[in-house]
Amino acid sequence: MLLEGKRILVTGVITEQSIAFNVAKIAQEQGATVVLTGYGRLSLVERIAKRLPVTAPVIELDATNPEQLAALADNVRGYVDGLDGVVHSIGFAPSTALGGTFLQTPWEDVATAVHVSTYSYKALAMATLPLMPNGGSIVGLTFDATVAWPVYDWMGVAKAGLESASRYLANYLGDQGIRSNLVSAGPLRTMAAKSIPGFEKFEESWTERAPLGWNLTDTVPTAKAVCALLSDWFPATTGEIIHVDGGYHALGA
């Protein structure tokens, strides 16, 4: 019962293959009360929410919409009286910003990728800050942005910004008892990954080279790391990036 009594807000549940779905599932199994947010097809998120151990309420949230962000705290209070943790599993880049067209991508599409995938981390933190007067844990998901990847292009730049933004949040929110950490997962066949042209280029290398091996369809190890960071077992850890990639990041050639 690692999260017994915790109140957790989870964004990014789309299908049962979503990392966020297993975060919500494991969090409930570990004793947490979970509230979900959904964007776009809310009925789909609500249907998936019923497949959790306990059906979780779903709040509409476009993390780039100032009005919805301003209303988020009050909407969450309709289900819980505060939060102990927030999970940011939000990312998007237009097709022109992915797939090898890095040099041709117009600024407008780059701006969209950065707004949704980077700035939304800070925006979500500030929107939920009133719900965490006694501190809490914010955890986001990244894909190793210390190197350039084939086809990942401007999403890689956006993830680099996300990793930096997490460190700045750690700096500015630490005196309020709020931790900010990221989990850097290896490639997983989620809906988001399937939308990236050529993403399969990562897969063969990862499964062959990761010291611990790598299962492209198993989001549970990543979700467990997120839940661990949401718990009280990392009380002095902030601004950190935990790799859950089978050890691939530690290798050279």
Residues marked as catalytic: 152, 159
Kindly list the distances between the CA atom of residue 219 and the CA atoms of 5, 169, 186, 193, 251, in Å, as whole numbers in the listed order: 24, 26, 10, 12, 22
Return the number of other C-beta atoms located less than 10 Å from residue 134's C-beta.
Answer: 9
Ordered DSSP codes for the chain: -TTTT-EEEE----STTSHHHHHHHHHHHTT-EEEEEE-S-HHHHHHHHTTSSSPPPEEE--TT-HHHHHHHHHHHHTT-S--SEEEE------GGGSSS-GGG--HHHHHHHHIIIIIHHHHHHHHHGGG-TT-EEEEEEE---SS--TTTHHHHHHHHHHHHHHHHHHHHHGGGTEEEEEEEE-----HHHHTSTTTTHHHHHHHHH-TT---TT--HHHHHHHHHHHSTT-TT--S-EEEESTTGGG---
